[in-house]
Amino acid sequence: MSKDLALIAKERGIRYFMISFTDLFGAQRAKLVPASAISEMQKDGAGFAGFATWLDMTPAHPDMFAMPDAAAVVQLPWRKEVAWVPADLVMEEKAVAQGPRTILKTVVAKAAQQGLRVKTGVEAEFFLIEADGAGISDLKDNASKPCYDQQALMRRYDVIAEICDYMQELGWHPYQNDHEDANGQFEMNWTFDDALVTADRHSFFKFMVRSVAEKHGLRATFMPKPFPGLTGSGCHVHVSVWDEAGSSNKFHSDDDEMGLSPQGYNFLGGIMKHAEGIAAITNPTVNSYKRINAPRTVSGATWSPNSVTWTGNNRTHMVRVPGKGRFELRLPDGAANPYLLQAAIIAVGLEGISSKADPGKRLDIDMYALGHTVQNAPKLPLNLLDALRAFDQDKELKAALGNEFSEAYLRLKHQEWNSYAAHFTQWERDVTLDI
């Protein structure tokens, strides 16, 4: 039974609700609705023009309505009179097939039909930069190996602690915060949960981090590679699959060297099989490929993959198995859409289980030093265009995510690539002006 948002408003002293949805490019869209009108919005939805967002629609499309999910409402810890509530998109009383949250709910339901409950956690990395975006905000944060830098972390204590306090207040069970491998870069971790819960929290986390940074006169960016020579921002995803009750880890096996069950290997096989195609989702921007195909950084390592390989507890591969019953996908970056990210992983994992996909040979080498010696390991796409082509060629992946979504996503992303390709750069002038 759906919760009554008007009652929630009365009980918690909420004056306004932000009815929010995430479009295909990961942009968050919202309407601010007074509590006095929330009952009507909960019944009929908040109206939007789909064309005005990054959805594959025209100005001639009918009204699109965002139906708030009251079970997922979040009261803003820093502005308690406002509540954020994620929404599902509806048009003419039908779910919008290209709506990212709808896509995730659809693949979660497919998993449930097989008695499977996917649980995930994300490691969301971000930079704290100057308000105008010009550079790193902390000029003292200049070490060549800044990862876990104690002094730099404490100079940003006010921002990081405030965000962590809010996560504790919201019941997310945060457990560690650190300065990451690039100057000005941070990571904050909270406990894993059901994939939809994680996606909603990931979406809200990005909004919260940006809001708190602005409050402190800074700017937070999840851009994959904002600075050349520095490590980019990943969004590693930890994945495990449980029984319907969520009490038994179906990936776990005490009889296997890696602690993975046959079903766990098949799910992993699906990831490996479709890696080149899902890159268009997990690494969705032109800038994404500056991260996964980067030369060595100032710190000495990119901490990102460029080949489709897996291993044990070794961070130089696309997938690592850090412990029994789970694995970590290290491919995604900070630009990934929180909902499409989860949906793509689950979709290819389920396909892997269905087809009994083999993940291939485990490699226990340092890929950064010896990757060139590996034979037959597919390379990840070199750029967004290659990723879109790989996605378009992956018929199983497109069908699993829905053909309507897939065509819409490809159309808009090709437009983005064409816009980039038509852009004249300073590099072109520097290299070819005198030819």
* Amino acid 294: pLDDT: 81
pLDDT band for 299, please (50, 70, 90 cuts). confident
Looking at domain 106-404, its CATH architecture is 2-Layer Sandwich (3.30)
pLDDT band for 423, please (50, 70, 90 cuts). very high
pLDDT band for 1, please (50, 70, 90 cuts). low
Q: What is the mean pLDDT of residues 238-247?
A: 96
| d(C-alpha 351, C-alpha 224), whole Å | 28
Q: What share of the chain in percent tops pLDDT 70?
A: 100
Q: How does pLDDT run across 139-155, given as a tens digit for each residue?
A: 999 999 999 999 999 99
Domain segments of the chain: what residues?
Answer: 5-96, 106-404
Residue 2 has pLDDT above 80, yes or no: no
| d(C-alpha 309, C-alpha 307), whole Å | 6
391-423 burial by CB neighbour count: b if 16+ within 10 A, else e? bbebebbbebbbeebbebbbebbeebbeeeeee
Q: How does pLDDT run across 56-81, given as a tens digit for each residue?
A: 999 999 999 999 999 999 999 999 99
The residue type found at 308 is V
Q: What angle do CA 45, 36, 80 make, to 5 degrees?
A: 95
Q: How does pLDDT run across 390-405, given as a tens digit for each residue?
A: 999 999 999 999 999 9
Is the pTM here over 0.95, yes or no?
yes
Q: What angle do CA 354, 357, 363 make, to 5 degrees?
A: 150
pLDDT band for 161, please (50, 70, 90 cuts). very high
- Closest Cα to residue 204, out of 95, 327, 101? 101
Q: What is the mean pLDDT of residues 322-339?
A: 97
* Amino acid 300: pLDDT: 84
Q: What is the mean pLDDT of residues 202-217?
A: 98
Domain 5-96 has CATH 3.10.20.70: yes
